[in-house]
Amino acid sequence: MNEQQQGTQPGSTPSSGYAGWAPPTPPAAATPSPATPTPTPTPEHAPPVLEGTVVGPTYVEDHSGAGWGTPPPPPAGPAHAGGPGGHARRGMLRGRLALVTAVAAVAAVLGGVTGGAIAAQERGGSVANTATVAAPVAARSDGSADVAAIAAAVSPSVVQITVKTASGTATGTGVVLNTDGQILTNYHVISGAAGGGTATVTFKDGSTANATVTGTDKSLDIAVITASGVRNLTPATLGDSGAVAVGDAVVAIGNPEGLTGTVTSGIISAKNRPVTVQVDEGTTRGNGGFGFPNLPGQRGSAATGGDTASYQAFQTDAALNPGNSGGPLINTAGQVIGINSAMYSATGSSSTADSSTAGSVGLGFAIPINDVKQVLPKLQAGQNV
């Protein structure tokens, strides 16, 4: 039954419309009274629209129940008199409100997606390619290193580097920097590859990849190489070597004598130890590419001829042997605070010492990671400094 067919009983409330509404009166035989025209809504009565949002008499939509809240009836007055105009106006308002609600819902969804993308980018990756960084490790309650936890967290970020030249083969260690295949190591480990040899990287899972030299700093004995065609690598976390104290527990991971994934532990036994070490392949080839330092007060010289590097090193009693070069020295939080680079030679006379005169005697040396960070961006960008 439409509106024109609905009526009211005397004294009753109209069954349709709102207060003050009455159905049209049929014409009488006498001269009809002038009908009050239904005014057409004018612009000044229409609610303004700002950027798609209806601004006007407001009400709260209740989404907690089974449906939407019912808007209050419009105020009585000429602009809201009964008839098709009033109902059309309410229909228009409901339509605009529905449109605004739909736009808000779409904006909320798009905002959530955009926010997720921005958050992913702020974490250092894209939405489609995010890096898995070596997990942080907690020290034991007594402050000692949880060696097993450190090894599990950081070992996926440690690789073996093999360099072949016309003169032979040398083996060292490297630390994964990013998912693009960039790896930090000692310059003396890859000096043969920089001079025309070939470098191969072996990952923890046993897979291998060819690598090229990206950037070098011979004076600090560090270099960055890039493994080809790799993905889903686990970068190590670089810590703050400035916060390291003598007596702090540390862990070393490397490939001594080709024994891959070897883990040793100890403490920082001294800081700022001046070290000068040979870095050219010709003088380090005989000891697996490991550096023997020229230490203050040492008889003879382990750095006689060839290229050398000098730095203020961490000294550690964590066992280091040929093949550990370029590997990480790690704090109790699982962060790399140094790059293992040299060890003491018992004779102190030659960097070609054999196994009877060279090996871990509790005097290993590492380049502080803060020194490395100062030049690392340039090396990663392909520069030699």
d(CA 264, CA 154): 13
pLDDT score recorded for residue 291: 55
pLDDT tens digits, 360-380: 678 899 999 999 999 999 999
| Contacts (Cβ under 8 Å, ≥6 apart) of 92 | none
Number of neighbouring beta carbons within 10 Å of residue 42: 8
How confident is residue 104, by pLDDT bands cut at 50, 70 and 90? low
pLDDT score recorded for residue 360: 66
For residue 172, the cross-strand partners are 161
Q: Answer yes or no: is pLDDT of 103 > 80.
A: no
For residue 262, the cross-strand partners are 254
pLDDT score recorded for residue 125: 38
pLDDT score recorded for residue 93: 56
> Which parts of 15-83 are beta strand (E)?
49-50, 53-54
- pLDDT above 70 as % of the chain: 54
Specify whether the CB–CB gap between 273 and 294 falls below 8 A.
Answer: no
pLDDT tens digits, 303-356: 455 688 999 999 999 999 889 999 999 999 999 999 999 888 665 443 333 344
Per the model's pLDDT, the better-predicted residue between 203 and 61 turns out to be 203
Specify whether the CB–CB gap between 357 and 347 falls below 8 A.
Answer: yes
State whether the Cα torsion 21-27-33-36 is positive or negative: positive
SS3 at position 165: strand
Specify whether the CB–CB gap between 358 and 287 falls below 8 A.
Answer: yes
d(CA 155, CA 264): 12
DSSP codes, 193-223: HHTT-EEEEE-TTS-EEEEEEEEEETTTTEE
Q: What is the pTM of this model?
A: 0.62
Alpha helix positions (H), the chain: 84-122, 147-154, 187-194, 281-284, 369-380
pLDDT score recorded for residue 196: 86
Give 50-58 contacts, CB < 8 A, sequence gap 24+.
52/99, 52/100, 52/103, 53/100, 54/93, 54/96, 54/97, 54/100, 56/93
pLDDT score recorded for residue 290: 54
How confident is residue 129, by pLDDT bands cut at 50, 70 and 90? very low
Q: Answer yes or no: is pLDDT of 59 > 60.
A: no
Average pLDDT over residues 17-39: 53
pLDDT score recorded for residue 326: 95
pLDDT score recorded for residue 265: 96
Active-site positions read: 188, 221, 325
pLDDT score recorded for residue 276: 87
Kindly list the distances between the CA atom of residue 359 and the CA atoms of 36, 72, 280, in Å, as whole numbers in the listed order. Answer: 111, 89, 20
pLDDT score recorded for residue 228: 95
Q: Answer yes or no: is pLDDT of 255 > 50.
A: yes
Which range, of 186-195, 220-229, 305-314, 318-327, averages the lowest pLDDT? 305-314
Average pLDDT, the chain: 73
